[in-house]
Amino acid sequence: MTNRVWRWVGGSVALIIAVFVFLVPFAFMVLTAGKTQKEAAALKFSWPTHWAFFDNLVTVLSTRDFLIVRAFVNSTILTVGAVAIMVVLGAMVGYVLQRRRSRWNPLVNFFVLAGLIIPPAVVPTIWVLQGLGLFKTLVGLIAVHVAFGLSFCILLFRAFVAGIPRELDEAAIIDGAGPVKLFFRVVFPLLRSVIITVIVVQAVSVFNDFTFALYFLPGDDNATVQLTTYNYTSQAVSSWNLLFMNVLIITIPPLIMYVFFQRQIVAGMTSGAVKG
């Protein structure tokens, strides 16, 4: 009997509190993004008397020569490029690291761990990028993201490869597959589910990244979406509706990912909770 009461009362209380604490701030943002500038300036938590959602959207999109649209193009290239490289290279390392016992493994494992933990040395990284002629380029930023995202990918891939039977490798080898063919034609396709996990988790983190873009890709010409909010924070502080519309636009893509890939995102981000 207490269980039934708990099931309903506890559940509803948890639900109400969660909605209040976690959703109401977003609701405020959405409502403010739909108001006219004058109404938004009051910063009230209220329903807009006049919906200016679409007008605000157009204004934000067209500000400064469609800066945010260009930023979206940049962020898309950045995310796709960085994640694609990370997945392929990370899978290669995770696979060999799991399959083969060599004296390099402890060193590689240590570096993987260090890559997760050690904060990037920013100014020396800029120095290196400058030496390579990649500072302030999208390619440079992609490379930085790859370097820092690899560790996480390698850990997930290594754990997953452990579950793929070795007999499969052996069968392929007997059939005459070389190492490259074995990996890309036999093993890589089997990694599908973990690849999806890695893709969504890393895509969200690359897309949401602010710090690396701030350091390694400054300037408006090739701004990424996270930097676009600067337009409204620095100058026109009074246009809350536009600022919030901008924030809304850049927040939506990861949330769409969440709707479709909830299971993979959760699996990827909570790995490590269970000891195997």
Partner 1 sequence: MSTTIATPRRSRTAGAEPQAKPRRRMKSPYPSWFFLPAGVFYVILFLVPTVASFWFSLTRWTLFDVEFIGFENYIRFFQEPPLVQGFVNTFIYAFVTSGAKVVLGLLFGVLLSSQIIGRGFTRSVIFFPVLASTIGVGIMFKVLLDPFDGPVNAGLEAIGLQGPGWWTDPATALLTVAMVDIWKGVGLATLIFIAGMVAIPQEYYEAARVDGAGAGKTFRHITLPLLQPATATVVLLSLIGGLRSFDLIWAITKGGPGFTSDVLASVVYKQYQAGFFGLSTAGNVVLFVVVAAIIFPLSWWLNRKGDQS
Nearest approach, Cβ of 88 to partner 1 (angstroms)?
8
Nearer to partner 1, 1 or 100 (CB): 100
Nearest approach, Cβ of 243 to partner 1 (angstroms)?
7
135 belongs to the binding site for partner 1 (CB under 8 A):
no
DSSP string, the chain: -HHHHIIIIIHHHHHHHHIIIIIHHHHHHHHHHTS-HHHHTT---S--SS--HHHHHHHHHHHHHHHHHHHHHHHHHHHHHHHHHHHHHHHHHHHHHHH---TTHHHHHHHHHHHHHSPP-HHHHHHHHHHHT-TTSHHHHHHHHHHHHHHHHHHHHHHHHTTS-HHHHHHHHHTT--HHHIIIIIIHHHTHHHHHHHHHHHHHHHHH--HHHHHHS-SSTT--GGGTTHHHHHT-TT-HHHHHHHHHHHHHHHHHHHHHHHHHHHHHHHTTSS--
Nearer to partner 1, 12 or 62 (CB): 12
Binding residues with partner 1: total (CB under 8 A): 107
Pick the stretch among 11-19, 53-61, 66-74 that binds partner 1 (CB under 8 A). 11-19
The residue from 52, 68, 143, 199 that contacts partner 1 (CB under 8 A) is 143
45 belongs to the binding site for partner 1 (CB under 8 A):
yes
Q: Which residues contact 8 (CB under 8 A, 6 or more apart)?
A: none
Nearer to partner 1, 62 or 272 (CB): 272
Nearest approach, Cβ of 1 to partner 1 (angstroms)?
13
37 belongs to the binding site for partner 1 (CB under 8 A):
no
Q: Which residues, numbered 226-255, are part of the site for partner 1 (CB under 8 A)?
A: 226, 229, 233, 240, 243-244, 247-248, 250-251, 254-255
Nearer to partner 1, 76 or 229 (CB): 229
Q: Which residues, numbered 103-132, are part of the site for partner 1 (CB under 8 A)?
A: 104, 108-109, 111, 113, 115-125, 127-129, 132
Q: Which residues, numbered 171-200, are part of the site for partner 1 (CB under 8 A)?
A: 173, 179, 182-183
Binding mask 60-79 for partner 1 (x = CB under 8 A): --------------------
144 belongs to the binding site for partner 1 (CB under 8 A):
yes
The owner of tokens 């039977």 is: 165
Nearest approach, Cβ of 25 to partner 1 (angstroms)?
6
Residue whose C-alpha is closest to residue 161's, from 133, 128, 186, 132: 186
Q: How far apart are CA 63 and CA 253, in angstroms?
A: 20
Q: How far apart are CA 270 and CA 274, in angstroms?
A: 8
The residue from 53, 69, 99, 196 that contacts partner 1 (CB under 8 A) is 99
Q: Which residues, numbered 256-275, are part of the site for partner 1 (CB under 8 A)?
A: 257-258, 262, 265-266, 269-275
The residue from 101, 176, 189, 219 that contacts partner 1 (CB under 8 A) is 101
